Structure formats: C-alpha cells, structure tokens
C-alpha cells in the first residue's frame, strides 16, 4: 500500500464493491480494493487490482488504505438484509468507526473525491407505514426517524460527509441506495436480502421437488429493487457529478414481496406453496424511490426492469444452490 492509485474501493470484497472494482478496472483505472475479510471470502477477486485485507475501523489502517489515492469509494459496512440489521443494531452502528476514520484519513491524505454509500434506511419510519407508499423524496429523511441502528449510522455518516466538505473542503458525494440485487451478492447465511433469498428458496424448491417455501411477513409489504448494473452506472455518475447533496439511487418499480415471488416462480417455471412467517423481521411496510432529484441533476434514473435483473440473478443463485448441494 502507499503507491499511487486512481481509486480505492473500501469494501471491495463485498457485493457492490466487487462489481465496482471490475467496472473501474475495465475503464483502465488503477484500483486498490480493501476489505476486512480474508481474500478467499471475497465475493469477487480481481487479480488486476491491488487487493488488501485490512480493518478500516482502525484509523491507521484507513490512512494506509487511502494513501496515494485520488478517489475513494466508501462501501465498507457491517450490514445485510432485514434478518441481519434487525438483530445486529450495535454491530451496524459500529460501522460509524469505518465511516469516521475513512473520512478523516481521506481528508488527511489529500484525497480529491470521496463517495459514500448511504441507504434508503435513513428515511423516516413514519413515511413508510403503508404498502401503497408515496415514494421517498430526499427531504423525507428529516425530521429524523431512521431505521433503528443501521439507518441512524448511515444518516450520521452522510451528514459527516457534508461537514467535511463545509469545514475542510473535502469533495464528497452521497448516494442513498435502495435495495440492490444481482449475481455475486450474498444469497445465504443470514445477511441476504429479499431478492437473493427468494431466488434461493425457489431454486431449492425446484431442485428438491419440495415446493413449500417460507416468506417473511404477509407478502403484501412493498419495495423497489435496483439491479447491480444500474447501481454501478449511478454510483459512477454521482461520483463524477457536481452535486454533494445526498441523492436517491434506486428503482421506482414498486412491487409487493408476493409479486417478487411470482416473478421468480415465473422464471423458474414452478409454483410454490407459500407459508407466511409473521414473526420474521419485516422492516418498513412500504418503500419506493422518488427519482425526481436524480433526473433533475443527471437526466438519468435506474431503469433495468425487475424481471430482467431477476432472470440473471436467479440463474446465478440457482448455480450456487446446485453447487452447494452436490
Ligand atoms: P457487502 O456486505 O457485500 O459489502 C460490504 C463489505 O464491507 C463487506 O465485504 C465487508 O467485509 C466489508 N467490511 C465490513 N467491515 C469492514 C471493516 N471494518 N473494514 C473493511 N471492510 C469491512 O454489502 P454491499 O451490498 O456490497 O453494500 C455496500 C455498501 O452499500 C454498504 O455500505 C451498504 O451499507 C450500502 N448499501 C447497500 C444496499 C444493498 O441493497 N446492497 C442498500 C443500501 C446501502
Ligand atoms: N431478507 C429476507 N429474506 N427478506 C424477506 C424474506 C427472506 O427470506 N422473505 C420476505 N422478506 C421480506 C422482509 O421481511 C422485508 O419486509 C422485505 O422482504 C425486504 O427485506 P430485505 O430485502 O431483507 O430488506 P429491506 O428492503 O427491508 O432493507 C434492505 O434495503 C435497504 C436499502 O433499501 C436492507 O438491505 C438494508 O440494509 C438496506 O439499506
């Protein structure tokens, strides 16, 4: 570490980070990917990058990680889907050490541009109580009533970006990701989100012949899901853009969880018997992304249809399930 690189991807061993490292390398940039996990556990390992294992919650590691870099994409966090964030609030909030030390290190080491991956979980719970939801606009984060634990850390950390810009002149960019899915994501183990979890359950049903699957909640809660390619395009665009205000980066194609299951069943060519678990973690009742601001700023918004992204995701998850059962 310490040599000159164009870009550092913090959390490069994770789902979005792994895809982002690949995209940046394809553009011809030099990349340092940093993650706390040992390299064999990374979602994707790109040999052309400098791949480093380090704990970015430690200031010295954060300093070493960003040294010599022009730009930093800060994607590192201890996070997951509802099954994880509802039961690990302290761990989620401790990501503030990564966020804080990475910002401080980026400022001290003279980084030119800093991207922070915030979340739709910053939005006020009171605005997400109905499945027939009004899409969330950026100003709906305040007055603050974020998702307990994880959402508060994200809201605090995105605000810290603003103050590092105002007080120290560090150029920061913030995207509020709405539920991102795609191949090479977490699909099992407890941190997986609904798209990967549903793909896994339907794939297991298809392979085993036992078509009973478990769905968390009553299936009527709603979400929008953004395919990874849209996430990458938007992330690069926001990083290179002129606006430092937090902006939604999410699909506005609203579906219920039942509709998500319908689509995956359609792709798999099977029908499943659904058992609804009302005691499982459910999060907000309805959530969608209002894309007015991203359209105004960049003339673009995520647009890959859910069915298209799910086809690619299901094929990948199906292969993982098959391999795991061999
Ligand atoms: P991910 O869990 O796959 O990736 C995060 C990576 O950070 C992991 O590989 C993890 O090992 C690493 N990490 C955790 N603690 C670390 C530490 N102390 N030092 C170094 N690395 C550490 O998650 P993802 O889906 O790729 O998400 C990337 C970012 O986007 C996260 O900040 C997440 O909160 C945010 N986000 C993701 C979504 C989504 O739907 N995927 C939605 C909203 C926000
Ligand atoms: N994870 C999961 N697994 N969710 C399921 C399942 C399942 O098997 N079955 C049904 N669900 C339901 C959940 O109960 C929840 O109501 C909905 O599907 C969506 O769950 P997740 O995908 O886990 O999370 P989320 O959309 O509530 O929040 C996610 O997105 C945020 C950004 O929009 C999380 O990943 C957050 O960490 C992220 O910031």
Transcribe 118-158 into DSSP letters. EEGGGS-GGG---SSPPPBPGGGG-S--PPTTHHHHHHHHH
Instruction: Give the number of the ligand closest to the Cα of residue 75.
Output: 1
Is the separation of the CB atoms in 164 and 172 below 8 Å? Answer: yes
Question: Residue 296: inside a domain, yes or no?
Answer: no
Q: Which ligand is nearest to the CA of 95?
A: 1
Please state, in angstroms and as integers, the Cα–Cα distance from residue 308 to each residue in 33, 182, 203, 229, 264, following that order. 29, 10, 17, 11, 11
DSSP letter, residue 40: G
For the chain, the domain total comes to 2
Q: Which of 1, 9, 14, 141 to mutate to test the pocket of ligand 1 (most atoms within 8 A of CB)?
A: 14
Query: Ligand 1, residues 18, 32, 75: which to mutate, most atoms within 8 A of Cβ?
Result: 75
Q: Whose CA is closest to 212, among 153, 272, 278?
A: 272
Cα 36 to averaged position of ligand 1 atoms, centre (Å): 11
**Same domain for 93 and 192:** no
Domain assignment of residue 263, given as a range: 182-224+253-286+305-325
Question: Using CA of residue 149, residue 190, residue 255, residue 243, what is the dihedral sign?
Answer: positive
Q: Distance between CA 159 and CA 153 in Å, rounded?
A: 10
User: From the CA of 209, how far away is ligand 1's center (Å)?
Assistant: 34
Distance 30 CA to ligand 2 centre (A): 34
Active site residue 150: yes
SS3 breakdown of the chain: % helix, strand, coil, rounded to 5?
45, 20, 35
Residue 130 counted as domain residue = yes
Q: Is 17 helix (H, G, I), strand (E, B) or coil?
A: helix
Q: Is there a contact between 116 and 165 (Cβ–Cβ < 8 Å)? A: no
Q: Tell me whether residue 239 is in a domain.
A: yes
Residue (of 49, 62, 60) closest to 19 by Cα position: 49
- Whether 193 is in the pocket of ligand 2, judged by its Cβ within 6 Å, is yes
60 and 24 in one domain?
yes
Please give all residues whose beta carbon lies within 6 A of any atom in ligand 1, as ranges.
Answer: 11, 13-17, 35-37, 55-57, 75-79, 98, 117, 119, 177, 179-180, 186, 193
Positions in the chain short of pLDDT 50: none
Residue 209 within any structural domain of the chain: yes
The token pair at 247 is 């902006």
**With a 6 A CB cut-off, is 217 part of the ligand 2 pocket?**
yes
Helix (H) or strand (E) holding 282: none
pLDDT score for 150: 98
- Distance separating alpha carbons of residues 237 and 248, to the nearest angstrom: 13
What pLDDT is stored for residue 326 in this prediction? 81
Q: What percent of the chain has pLDDT over 90?
A: 98
Q: Are residues 99 and 205 in the same domain?
A: no
Q: Dig out the tokens for 109 from the structure.
A: 């080491």
Looking at the structure, tell me whether residues 280 and 237 fall in a common domain. no
Question: Do residues 287 and 120 make contact, with C-beta atoms less than 8 angstroms apart?
Answer: yes
Residue with CA nearest ligand 2 atom 4: 194
Calpha distance 300→133 (Å, rounded): 23
- Residues 19 and 84 reside in one and the same domain: yes
299 within domain boundaries:
no
pLDDT of residue 97: 98
43 and 171 inside one domain: yes
Instruction: Check if the beta carbon of residue 101 is closer than 8 Å to that of residue 57.
Output: yes
136 with 269, same domain: the answer is: no
How far does the centroid of ligand 1 lie from the alpha carbon of residue 77, in Å? 4
Give the pLDDT confidence score for residue 1 in this predicted structure: 72
Residues 36 and 63 in one domain: yes
Residues 12 and 142 in one domain: yes
Tokens standing for 264?
């995956």
CATH number at residue 75: 3.40.50.720
Question: Quick one: 133 and 207 in the same domain?
Answer: no
Specify if 291 maps to a domain. no
Say whether both 71 and 91 belong to one domain: yes
pTM of the model: 0.98
Ligand 2 atom nearest the C-alpha of 284 is 27
Catalytic residue among 114, 150, 177, 314: 150
In a domain, 292, yes or no: no
Domain membership of residue 55 (yes or no) is: yes
Q: Is 176 in the pocket of ligand 2 (CB under 6 A)?
A: no
238 shares its domain with 313: no
Q: What is the pLDDT of residue 325?
A: 87
At 189, which CATH number? Answer: 3.90.25.10
């Amino acid at each position: 570490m310490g040599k000159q690189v164009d870009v550092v991807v913090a959390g490069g061993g994770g789902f979005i980070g792994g895809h982002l490292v690949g995209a940046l390398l394809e553009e011809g940039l030099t990349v340092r990917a940093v993650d706390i996990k040992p390299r064999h556990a990374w979602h994707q390992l790109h040999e052309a990058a400098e791949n480093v294992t380090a704990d970015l919650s430690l200031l010295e590691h954060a300093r070493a990680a960003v040294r010599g870099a022009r730009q930093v994409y800060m994607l590192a966090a201890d996070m997951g889907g509802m099954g994880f964030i509802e039961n690990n609030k302290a761990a989620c909030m401790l990501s503030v050490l990564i966020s804080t030390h990475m910002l401080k290190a980026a400022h001290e080491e003279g980084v030119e541009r800093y991207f922070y991956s915030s979340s739709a979980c910053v939005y006020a719970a009171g605005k997400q109580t109905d499945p027939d939801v009004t899409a969330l606009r950026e100003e709906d984060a305040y007055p603050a009533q974020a998702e307990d634990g994880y959402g508060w850390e994200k809201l605090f950390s995105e605000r810290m970006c603003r103050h590092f810009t105002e007080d120290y002149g560090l150029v920061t960019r913030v995207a509020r990701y709405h539920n991102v899915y795609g191949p090479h994501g977490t699909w099992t183990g407890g941190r997986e989100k609904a798209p990967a979890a549903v793909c896994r359950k339907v794939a297991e049903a298809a392979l085993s012949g036992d078509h009973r699957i478990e769905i968390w909640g009553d299936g009527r809660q709603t979400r929008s899901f953004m395919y990874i390619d849209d996430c990458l395009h938007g992330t690069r665009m926001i990083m290179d853009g002129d606006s430092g205000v937090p902006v939604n980066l999410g699909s506005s194609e609203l579906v219920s969880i039942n509709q998500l299951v319908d689509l995956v069943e359609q792709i798999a060519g099977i029908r499943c018997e659904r058992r609804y678990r009302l005691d499982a973690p459910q999060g907000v009742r309805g959530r969608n992304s209002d894309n007015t601001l991203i359209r105004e700023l960049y003339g673009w918004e995520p647009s890959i249809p859910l069915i298209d992204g799910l086809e690619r995701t299901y094929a990948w998850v199906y292969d993982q399930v098959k391999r795991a059962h061999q």
